[in-house]
A and B are shown apart, each in its own frame.
Chain A
Amino acid sequence: MRLLNYFRGETFARGIHPPQHKETADLAIRRLPFAPRMIVHLSQQVGRPARPLVKVGEEVLRGQPIAEADGFVSVPHHAPVTGVVEDIRLHATANGPWGPAIIIRTHLGSTQEVLWEQPHEIAALDEEALIEAVKQTGVVGLGGGVFPTHAKLKVPKEYPIDTLVVNGCECEPYLTSDHRVMVERPQHLIAGIRIAQQLLNNPRAIIGVEDNKPDAVEAIRKHLPADGSIAVEAVPTKYPQGAGEMLIKTLTGREVPPDARAYTTGAYVQNVATLAEIGELLPRGRGFIERIITVVGSGVERPGNYLVPIGTPLKFLLEQVGAKGDSIQVVFGGPMMGSAVASLDTPITKGVGGILVFRGKEVQARASRKTYPCIKCGECVESCPMGLNPSTLGMLAIKREYQTMADGYRLGACFECGSCTYVCPANIPLVQHFRVAKQMLRRNSA
């Protein structure tokens, strides 16, 4: 089947088939209670941190802007709860360094209705106004890229877009939040696609959904407009189908050249969750204050797809879903590309689409597995979606020949999907070697 797909050119070459673990696929979205204290980081996005609009002691309404974008590549942030600004100070982030954050004490008696909104007549907006309206929602790339969506929607005019690729693959194992969005909120997704189409000069839109989610394809199909400008297509389930370049290849046959941006091929990718948020929030002029997160893993008693206010402390969330064991590992994102959080004091940010909780014992078992030298089995070469040679790259990394890796073996094309590391029978931390190599190259060139 896999070979057949490849020869029919229906998907990208190579890739891997890890066990799916989509245990939460059928669990409907549920709302998590509001935490007594919310921590809204000013930098949850690529680009400059937002600037606070509120002062300590000020009362804020749920949905009210509390920080404004600082420049074009930046986004505003909104109050996730009705409450009082308790402090504006440095706070721990998921990956270690502390960053400025607005701390809000929740009014527990409040109904927490969203009262703050500025409705738009979308069809009447010109391009600039529409991009500004997108910016005011505070939405960033929810697939994990966290690049401000309004900035991504401003494509240089010399590159006309003919295909809007809507990414509903959710190829990471365990994660099902995009799946639930497609099943439960297809109307928002279609509305979001309409807005993106309007901004991109009306390209055709194709929603690519991995064929392990037939119910999502069915739900979307019922909401497709009759004019045929939006289509949904089931694509082969294979990791990393949800990487932008891979989905473009699968749906259009185009390959994004190395070092080029996807839009230079006339294809443009947005994630389903991002567009669904735009579709839901923008017409009413609301801000992005809560998102759908899959919480799952061996260390969770009540896994599910939860609607979580941005800024909810991780510790509070883990108490709500019941984290088991006295030693755990918490991963923000999927098991392939997500990263382990450095501290349980960190809050949920806009980029977190999945929270995996593994028991410490399992993690220790994985960590204690023996590592061998490369036996050159070639499994990594057969798995790399970018057509690189991780085996040779890995050996060069051990010898610290970073420049050779970049010049001779296209290290720069690696987007760290982790496929090589997943398959390696010698248990070599290849992707970790590549991250270090890239970091060293950046340092050397600086």
Chain B
Amino acid sequence: MNSSIEILTGPHIKRTRSVEQIMRNVVGSLLPICVFFVVQYGVSALLSIVVVTLSCLATEKFFVRLGGQSGDLNDWSATITGLLLALTLPPGFPLWMGAVSGTVAIALGKAIFGGIGHNLFNPALVGRAFVQAAFPVAIATYTPSFLPGRFTDFIPSSLALPLMAPADTVAWLHSMSYDALAGATPLAKWKFEGTLAGVSELATSLGTHMAVGPSPLLIVACSAYLAVRGFLDWRIPAAVLGSAACVAFALYGWDPHRFPDPFFVLFSGGLVLGAIYMATDMATSPVTPRGMWIYGALIGVLTVAIRYAGGLPEGVMYAILIGNAMTPLIERITQPQAFGTSKKKEKK
């Protein structure tokens, strides 16, 4: 007969989904996007992804060792931060600066709040915001994609020594007979030059020698896998992209010469990546369904507002960080409707 009994509180069954499983799937869905980024920009992008991610993991390990945190490297959350951060940096971003941003992302964006689940701001964007302030020139220096020789030669600025001025990317582009504007992003070209890139080239990122990130369509496809499996809440991206498109459409309808068309707004810059992979960061977005819509809409509107009215060509990062800051307030005013408190009509 049975010699001992187990006493454990209910419920006695449990769904198998775990934090690690969610994070692992997010990492998996990011891999094709990273591969495409490497195809676009070659060894510089590859090394950038590796260095930034490793710096995130090392920082995470350091703080977990330091104690008081329940996270660990095998929860994969630091890996996500590293990959996302690398994807938002210019491919020729000096590697040592990349390491700084990765360290800051985890240290100031996550560990300081108490680790996984406790952070108020998206760690990847905290890291990026830091280097945007610290290295304003390097972070604005892009290079065209699909350059010949990208798999054998580094973009010279990548290998800059710590605290040394990076090699002059513009001069390097000149030496390859590209003009100085070849490295400008489509958003910068629109903002400072008034030229608009084609929508299909933006959506696929397959245009010749454009300074763009991974294809928005690829990002949508990869995230669709997550959404179908239930690892990603589709409402936040829908709200971000929907509200940005609505504002852009209204302004475009009002003055098509002054404002770009909504498709340009959707597919340029980091809006798709930010809406799908960063605004949806669970810890920093509302848990309440109505809150998700408000939060997403706020980010979409702010993005367009910063792009159109601000000094910077891109506004996704600050829009999401402001959205993160508003999350506790949004949650407070959007608590779910408790059962029995709504006035619904009777059936039959």
Contact = CB atoms under 8 A, between A and B. Distances in A.
B282 A378 contact: yes
A426 B6 contact: no
A386 to B, nearest CB: 4
B19 A389 contact: no
Contacts of B200: none
A198 interface: no
Contacts of B287: 376-378, 380-381, 389, 391-392
Contact of A432 (B9, B282, B346): B9
B11 A374 contact: no
A342 B9 CA distance: 11
Contact of B7 (A245, A340, A391): A340
B342 A255 contact: yes
Interface string A402-446: 000000011001000010011101110101100000000000000
B13 A422 contact: yes
Interface residues of B, number: 51
Interface residues of A, number: 80
A233 to B, nearest CB: 11
Interface in B285-314: 285-289, 292
Nearest to A256: B340
Interface in A244-300: 245, 249, 251-258, 260
A382 B336 CA distance: 10
B15 interface: yes
A421 B9 CA distance: 11
A378 B287 CA distance: 4
A409 B338 CA distance: 9
B346 A253 contact: yes
B152 interface: no
Contact of B283 (A254, A342, A376): A376
Nearest to B71: A372
A333 to B, nearest CB: 8
Contacts of A387: 336-339, 341
A210 B114 CA distance: 45
B23 to A, nearest CB: 9
B22 interface: yes
Contacts of A392: 287, 331, 335
B18 A427 contact: yes
A378 B292 CA distance: 10
A92 interface: no
Interface stretch (B115-123, B182-190, B207-215): B115-123
Interface of B: 1-15, 17-19, 21-22, 70-71, 75, 114-118, 233, 282-283, 285-289, 292, 331, 335-342, 344-348
27 contacts: A13-B339, A245-B339, A252-B348, A255-B341, A256-B340, A257-B341, A258-B341, A315-B1, A319-B1, A326-B3, A327-B5, A328-B5, A329-B7, A335-B12, A338-B10, A341-B5, A343-B5, A344-B5, A358-B6, A363-B6, A378-B286, A379-B17, A392-B331, A392-B335, A422-B13, A425-B15, A426-B19
